[in-house]
Amino acid sequence: MNKPSNSELQQRRLAATPRGVGVMCGFYADRADNASLWDVEGREYIDFAAGIAVVNTGHRHPRIVRAVEEQLQRFTHTAYQIVPYESAVVLAERINALAPIEGPAKTAFFTTGAEAVENAIKIARAHTGRPGVIAFGGAFHGRTLMGMALTGKVAPYKLGFGPFPSDVYHVPYPSALQGVSTDDALAAIEALFKSDVDPQRVAAIILEPVQGEGGFNVAPPELMRGLRALCDQHGMLLIADEIQTGFGRTGKVFAMEHFGVKPDLITMAKSLAGGLPLSGVCGRSQVMDAPAPGGLGGTYAANPLAVAAAHAVLDVLAEEKLCERSQRLGALLTQRLEALRERFPVIAEVRGLGSMIAIEFRDPKTGKPDAARLQQVQRKALEEGLLLLSCGMYGNAIRFLYPLTIDDALFAKALDIIERAVQD
């Protein structure tokens, strides 16, 4: 039986699904393996998107496939809240041992990253008895109502969806290109306490250690230290949203390990289960125990197939030394990008941690964001079979999210394509 063409599937998608689900590519996936995917017409692409940082361990890693197959032979669903199972308990134990949390930790599992964020806010409010939450401009925390309220980017995430939950406040995230320093960000929080909200009404401050949709902006260490001090001073919780940064992406299991600062809660998802839907919140035991029984959960939370995959992810992460590999690949990419930046002033900055790297395009004469140049580079790379994602408040940054298991030769080929795309 002949497969439908990309153009046929595109027409059917437009007729059958709503425009609100934005789709970047006009081709349709047929199969994938490690860092490559093939469309329904047989064309191969090097995947530098990784399902938006979901397959850090590559497409269809044999260990993950085997783990899911074995679990399929046992059971696929009981609802953990009805009939629990050992694999979820052991996974929580493993996460608790890995997470940079002060003192004893506990972990609850959910399904999506947005669920993890929602539940982290619930837990923080239950623990503190306070409603307020401080987030950052440029942040992305999900598409649920609370997720949108926390997200610091209007288009396309908030357009037409208000009103949003109250008691959410935003301050600028440090960015040298935006002219925002750490002192500016911390001063903005102090200003909030003077003009908008009593700190005794604030439950938590939430931030991404490296902003994802916001442009791969890395939190300065002094920001983390300042936030920790503010939280300790006022009895607030510090929540690290590690949904995109977790599980080796920045060269550590969790990005917070770079900063020497321990949050009270960590949200996680994406690469936790290597392509299967699983998320979690890990935090200090006394904080995690604040909600009453039944206050947390979900029908598909801690899905047994996803839990099995997550165990395999943690095994692969350790056995294949993917954190070290993340640092090595990121260094190679950064070196090549910095060389391009010296030759092409339209690249205003190369930034990131480990293998969470981005370049930002700005007009070298005016300093204004240059989204058009990004689109040209992205289109040229795609013509050569390399899939790249954009990000940033102005859509003028390219983020590089290859699987950490990518073959060295394929990685080198991708770097050559990037160089040609920028040159052209």
- Catalytically active residues are 140, 241, 270
Other Cβ atoms closer than 10 A to 70: 11
Q: Which residue has the tokens 């080929």?
A: 413
Helix, strand, coil percent content, the chain, rounded in steps of 5: 40, 20, 40
Whole-angstrom distance, CA of residue 252 vs CA of residue 295: 32
Whole-angstrom distance, CA of residue 251 vs CA of residue 353: 7
Whole-angstrom distance, CA of residue 76 vs CA of residue 78: 7
Which of these, 335, 322, 326, lies nearest to 418 by C-alpha position? 335
Return the C-alpha torsion angle 147, 152, 153, 158, nearest 10. Answer: 40
Give the pairing type, strands 386-387 and 397-400.
Answer: unpaired
- The 10 Å CB-count burial string (b at 16+, else e) for 368-391 is ebbbebbeebbebbbebebbbbbb
H/E stretch holding 315? helix 304-319
Give the CA distances from residue 118 to residues 5, 21, 72, 228, in Å, rounded to whole numbers and listed in that order. 39, 21, 30, 21
Q: Are 103 and 179 in contact (CB under 8 A)?
A: no
Which of these, 17, 358, 137, lies nearest to 9 by C-alpha position? 17
Q: Work out whether the CA dihedral 404, 407, 409, 410 comes out positive or negative.
A: negative
Q: Which residue has the tokens 């040159």?
A: 423
Return the C-alpha torsion angle 23, 273, 70, 302, nearest 10. Answer: -100
